[in-house]
């Protein structure tokens, strides 16, 4: 699994933002359609980022966060409530991000947080991973939903 992570991270995190014309070609040329399974499976921010970078639906980040949700976040009512909130707000936030002029920067920042959360999960630092992801989601809620 470490090999998958290494490849995904290299491919997914460019060192600098490509010029707009190059970005459009790279993103449109590799972008996958969102399937019904992906939408029903959650991980909206991560799915948006992986689509943005042209990664598959079974990439390291999505597998890690899905397992995290199913293994840890489904254990108590407080975490279940967080997951439900996420499912309620994330689709709208992703749509709004895609409409912004700086969507590349926003997805880059989100994906950085996703990768950090995955690293924390891998190190079994579950509380820190939850806090990091919750802070990111709360920040996006404030920014895009004006709450």
Q: How far is CA 146 from the centre of its chain?
A: 20
- Reported for 128-134, long-range contacts at CB under 8 A and 24+ positions apart, including other chains, are 129/68, 130/72, 130/73, 130/79, 130/82, 134/82
What's the pLDDT score for residue 41? Answer: 52
In three-state secondary structure terms, 124 is: coil
What's the pLDDT score for residue 68? Answer: 93
Cα 85 to Cα 79, 88, 103, 134: the distances in Å are: 10, 5, 23, 10
Alpha-carbon span 2 to 28, nearest angstrom: 28
Taking the model in full, what pTM does it have? 0.69
With tokens 């969507």, the residue in question is 103
What's the pLDDT score for residue 95? Answer: 93
What's the pLDDT score for residue 34? Answer: 35
What's the pLDDT score for residue 147? Answer: 64
Cα 44 to Cα 1, 47, 51, 108: the distances in Å are: 22, 5, 10, 15
What's the pLDDT score for residue 51? Answer: 87
What's the pLDDT score for residue 47? Answer: 86
Could you list the pLDDT tens digit for every one of the 147 residues in the chain? 333 333 334 334 433 333 332 222 223 333 333 333 333 455 788 888 888 888 998 899 999 999 999 999 989 899 999 899 989 999 999 999 999 999 999 999 999 999 999 999 999 999 999 999 999 999 999 999 986
């Amino acid at each position: 699994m470490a090999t998958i992570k290494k490849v995904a991270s290299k491919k997914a995190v460019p060192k600098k933002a490509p010029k707009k014309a190059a970005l459009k070609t790279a993103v449109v040329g590799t972008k996958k359609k969102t399937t019904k399974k992906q939408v029903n499976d959650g991980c909206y921010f991560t799915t948006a980022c992986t689509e943005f970078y042209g990664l598959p639906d079974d990439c390291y980040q999505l597998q890690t966060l899905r397992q995290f949700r199913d293994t840890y976040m489904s254990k108590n009512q407080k975490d279940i409530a967080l997951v439900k909130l996420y499912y309620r707000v994330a689709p709208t936030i992703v749509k709004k991000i895609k409409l912004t002029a700086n969507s590349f920067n926003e997805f880059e920042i989100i994906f950085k947080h996703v990768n950090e959360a995955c690293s924390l999960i891998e190190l079994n630092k579950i509380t820190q991973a939850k806090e990091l992801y919750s802070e990111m989601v709360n920040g996006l809620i404030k920014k895009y939903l004006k709450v």
